[in-house]
Amino acid sequence: MTEFTPFASLFGGVMIGLSAVLLMLVLGRVMGATGILTGFVNPTSGTDWSWRAAVLAGMVSAPLVYFAVTGGMPTIEVPVSTPLMLLGGFIVGIGVTFGSGCTSGHGVCGMARLSGRSITATLTFMVATAATVFVIRHVLGG
C-alpha cells in the first residue's frame, strides 16, 4: 500500500521546480539528472563540472537535511530484489540514452517549456510505467 503524503509531495515538487527554475535562470541549463550526472563523469570544463558536483552533492545530502529537520531518516522500502533493481537501472539507462533525457529533464523542464519532444517522451515514460506496473502486479503476481 502506498502512503498518501500530499504535503511532503507538494513540498518536494515545489523544491524540484524551484531548483529547475534557478538553474535555468542562473546558468541557462536544463536540470536533467541524467545530463547532470553525465557531465559530471565526463566534464567539458572545470566550471561545468563544479555546478554539476554541487547539484549532485545536494541530491546525495538531502536525507541528512531531512534528518536534521525531522530527527529521523526517511523510510525507503524497495519491494524487489537487488538483481531486479540492477536490471531495472540498466533498462532505464537504455531508455534514457534512446530518449535523449530522463523524467527530470523531459518531465519537469521540457514540458514546462512546452517542448513537443519532451511531452511525447514523458507520455511514453508514463505509459511504459503503467504497463510495467500492471504486468508485474496483475500478470506476474508480484
Q: Band of the pLDDT at 142, cuts 50, 70, 90?
A: low
Name the E strands within 21-84.
Answer: none
Domain enclosing residue 123, as ranges: 79-142
Decide which of 32, 57, 77 is a domain's last residue.
Answer: 77
Q: Is the pLDDT of residue 137 over 90?
A: no
Same domain membership, residue 95 and residue 67: no
Q: Band of the pLDDT at 132, cuts 50, 70, 90?
A: confident
Q: Band of the pLDDT at 2, cuts 50, 70, 90?
A: low
pLDDT at res. 133: 85
Same domain membership, residue 64 and residue 8: yes
Same domain membership, residue 94 and residue 26: no
Q: Is the pLDDT of residue 123 over 90?
A: yes
Q: What angle do CA 59, 4, 66 make, to 5 degrees?
A: 30
Q: Classify 90 as helix, strand or coil.
A: helix
Decide which of 25, 56, 77 is a domain's last residue.
Answer: 77
Q: How many domains does the chain have?
A: 2
Same domain membership, residue 109 and residue 63: no
Same domain membership, residue 88 and residue 134: yes
